[in-house]
Structure 1
């Protein structure tokens, strides 16, 4: 999707107050090594251009890559904080955890971005910050909002496979489980619903939703919260029992970052159970349903809130100051 400068300016203006508030929260402790929006201005002034160029090239080759980079940042921040630990190889790699195995992708793109940055300004930019910026441009170049990424993270020294298994929200989690996982990292109900809207781009494997389909589930019946026509279409996609076949998370606009995800939930077309329960579950809070309705009716509100929640998520337990290190390569510690 082509980048629209006009829409970007409108989106930035819309979110200005929210972003300024998020920035001020962090700038108050900048002197002690917290995140800022100008961290690399002197030591790596072309950082944004480098990241954007590489993400743009990757998405021209495969539009889905924007969603993959967004997911990597999300899965990084929910485990050990936003420290780039998901990028580490090894026996304890988070890549081997159930939520990431045969699912998390985009590592080669991150490697390529890091290599470009190391040639331009070696030893300055962390892999954790590369992830945060790559996610931003994955969203922006898919047609989503711009937002100011706060920078200055350093890289963790260890991965946490068990943490990835236990901390990441799952496709069959209940509302209470999902809410708790977000609360555990300092995110509230609004953050939970709006960040779930990141599923407006990307795809999911049949293994993660086929239990909702007739002929695949133990009850041999379609999930009543799933639109029957969509269920029939998904049965064809997943026919043969190949759990690695994929379907669009957002039926109708898989590669476009928009508010169609929320419109889908209103029409029982959420692909994952953990998406649809935000609106359809009997346990869903009134506030959760109200947010789904609000974002489905107002894409500008969704864009504004999404950018603000991304800034907030990106500030989950970052390593700063002398903690951690700046990895030379993202797959291994120095």
Structure 2
């Protein structure tokens, strides 16, 4: 076993725990009432989401980019804490260590995050000066010998964590039916979501056709040229970005509900969608998975989008009717 495995794993786990703690504190404050504060509520939700995401990724690897992201999250959070107690932040202000004890715990979590990162960087510099290659040292941090199976399991758990996290938030969150979507509320918001959801389905179907072309499953077409691969990726990115405002409105306005079959299907598939997206990204980025994994992940993602469209956009545009639901 690599002699650096245990000391390398320890700071990564502590760093991930500190970030997750900070994210949890801000998520809880968001749920407890900060979601009603203009701009600040959205910033709390953004902080919690990015902190949880980076913490989860740190369990798998520790490239410099993730450490920079962790430092940015902690620094921005501390800067917001300071501004809200001095000059004010977007018209919002707090006093001292209020709310208690969350304010103090948050300060501890962000400070600990920065201290770990400073110590981490100092240890790398010391290792380089003592003759240990930085690249070798970082490899020891990122992938300790003898832990390959553990990393594979953690990669598989990440999509599950995303689904569970969205489901948890959707259940504990108090629905705010007046939530706006680009300034639209009520029926106007639902109509806009139905239109955006239909566009999302269209992009997903185009991406599916391009994937079939890339895999040589369209016999009438020759091998896909390089621009097809680029277009496939760009459409996937566009579809993901288009889905975000829809998902944000759904989960804040309605949460996760089980009032009837259609609503339950829409809620659960909406949570599952982002887990499927994470799974697809993992399969694309890691070459060790079997050849059938990527088509399965992509097909699952398209199927989830189609189910969501049928249970909500189609239902709304079809006069509040969807056969079978």
TM-score (norm 1): 0.29
Higher RCO structure, 1 or 2 (CA under 8 Å, sep 6+): 1
Q: In proportion to residue count, which structure has more helix? A: 2
Bigger radius of gyration? 2
* TM-score between both structures, scaled by the size of structure 2: 0.30
